Amino acid sequence: MRHTLPIAPQFYVTAPQPCPYLEGRMERKLFTALQGEGAQRLNDGLSKQGFRRSQNVLYRPSCADCSACLSARIDVSKFTATKSQRRTLRRGRYLERRATSPWATEEQYDLFRRYLGDRHADGGMADMDAFEFAAMVEETPIRTRVVEYTDPDSKDLIATCLTDILDDGVSMVYSFFEPETTRLSIGTYIILDHIDIAREAGLPYVYLGYWVPGSDKMGYKASFSGLEVYNSGAWHPLKDPRDFDTSLHPLSNDPISEQVADISLPDGRPLKPQPR
């Protein structure tokens, strides 16, 4: 009888490139492939350690200049909607929610193009064609759903969110919406509805991606009560955003070798090999 140990994932570091959130900074990511029979468990385990999924890759910021990008999640049990958020919920309740398998459609892509043209015309995804969009949606080795929001009268697609199902929550991988629906605050509504989705499923967290102190693009996430950020190897309640200003300092980031050594695999084993 032969026994084999599970193969530890290999970690790599991207080349530095301009940061999309903080002007004058350079970003760098630590990443690993997400594949094989253990993909779901690896995604579950590393999501709890600040990683995010993009297709079949898990990544986490690992910048030399700062550690401002902090993975954020909402503790559903501690969330209480503000007066403004309750109004957003009432305005958006007419929308019909439909969760489907991760399959890209022309209608989704058309909405995606309108959204980018209005909100992120100069962003890194601005040149994404239909095939690349389909890959973003469909290339997933884990439990993923496309959550669509449609107008019940016109049947028009108003918003879409690519959502991963984790063992402790739902992870909002990417969302986009009709730019002409600004009065609905549809981006906020999608997050509020995912809090309801997590509650309905009995899951404790909604993972939002990264919150970046000092970035106007990411500031809206701090408006959700129950928000936690992953910092220094643990999740911390976000009480005052100014508490995390020190993460902008270049000496606040550990060396890559220490970051990798501190990663725990899903079975609890620490990861000791150096990144390539």
Q: What does R_g of the chain's alpha carbons equal in angstroms?
A: 19
CATH of the domain at 181: 3.40.630.30
Q: Is residue 177 part of a domain?
A: yes
Q: What is the pLDDT along the chain (276 residues), one digit of tens a residue?
A: 443 445 678 899 999 998 888 888 889 999 999 988 899 999 999 999 999 999 999 999 888 878 888 999 999 999 999 999 999 999 999 999 999 999 999 999 999 999 988 876 666 677 889 999 999 999 999 999 999 999 999 999 999 999 999 999 999 999 999 988 877 899 999 999 999 999 999 999 999 999 988 777 777 888 999 999 998 889 999 887 777 765 555 545 666 777 777 788 776 655 554 444
- Both tokens assigned to 261: 């050594």
Asked whether residue 128 is assigned to any structural domain, the reply reads yes
How confident is the model at residue 1, as a pLDDT?
40
* CA 160/CA 177 separation, integer angstroms: 6
**What residues make up the domain containing 217?**
74-231
Whether residue 207 is contained in a domain is answered as yes
What pLDDT is stored for residue 232 in this prediction? 82
Report pLDDT for 217: 73
- Helix (H) or strand (E) segment spanning residue 117: helix 106-119
Are the C-beta atoms of residues 79 and 195 closer than 8 Å to each other? yes
pLDDT for position 253: 63
Residue 184 lies in a domain: yes
CB atoms within 10 A of CB 181: 18
Q: How many domains is the chain partitioned into structurally?
A: 1
Q: What is the pLDDT of residue 85?
A: 96
Question: Has residue 249 been placed in a domain?
Answer: no
**Angle, vertex CA 218, rays to CA 216 and CA 223, nearest 5:** 100
Structural domain contains residue 69: no
Distances (CA, A) of 91 to 80, 189, 234: 18, 9, 36
Question: In sequence order, what are the residues at sequence separation of 6 or more whose Cβ sits closer than 8 angstroms to the Cβ of residue 157?
Answer: 107, 108, 111, 148, 149, 150, 178
Give this prediction's pTM: 0.89
